[in-house]
Amino acid sequence: MNNISKTILLLIVLFNSIFCHAQSYIQGKYAIPFNTIGAIPTLDNNSLLPITEAYNKISPLFSHRSIYDYYSKIENYSGQYFSKDNLVINIYAQHLPSPSSNRYKVLYTMKNSFDQDFEEEIKGNKYFSEIKKIKNYYSFINYSKVENYAKEACIVDEQGRYMLFIKVFCKNDSTSINQAISTLNNIVNNITFK
């Protein structure tokens, strides 16, 4: 390589290190990329958001709520974030330390806890909570039917190898809320594990 080529290469490397900043697409101590353990047909890497962009879209949704303290700190964002139809979807996937076929039972403990916390909302038909088996995994789905809190699901595969936490964030209007519920159900019903 001649001196001109070396100089050009050095300038390119310097330019990239000074002006280009790497974007983080996943964070969290035990988070793993979902595509390493499964697939969701409606979400692909083209819809993946950098953590900072997810933060910029989600934190304003909660600015007037008590939960804002949590969502106002970017370090609290974990897993991967996707954008689809004006919604932000968070998937936190993790390997479980020792596979166990009865690991799904933890979902019942989670459901009982949420059902106690939202007892009044359940009575008023403002809250949804359900556990169901789909294909080769178990899913606990819960959400407010009337507010823009995240629509959530927790999924454990049948062999107890993986756990997923899914949140769909939306604006606080009935159209967005219904779209978020539909999107969450679509994701939950169409996951495939490797």
- For the chain, domains (ranges, CATH) are 23-193 (3.40.1000)
Please name the amino acid found at residue 54: A
| pLDDT given at position 22 | 45
DSSP state of 172: S
DSSP state of 23: P
| pLDDT given at position 60 | 83
pTM of the entire predicted model: 0.82
| pLDDT given at position 152 | 93
Is the alpha carbon torsion for 172, 72, 115, 117 positive or negative? negative
Q: Which residues of the chain have pLDDT under 50?
A: 3-22
The rounded distance, in Å, linking the Cα atoms of 137 and 156 is 6
Q: Which bin fits 166, alpha (ψ -120 to 50), beta or left (φ > 0)? A: beta
| pLDDT given at position 191 | 93
> Phi and psi at residue 45, in whole multiples of 5°?
-65, -20
Q: CB of 48 within 8 A of CB of 35?
A: no
Q: CB of 142 within 8 A of CB of 129?
A: yes
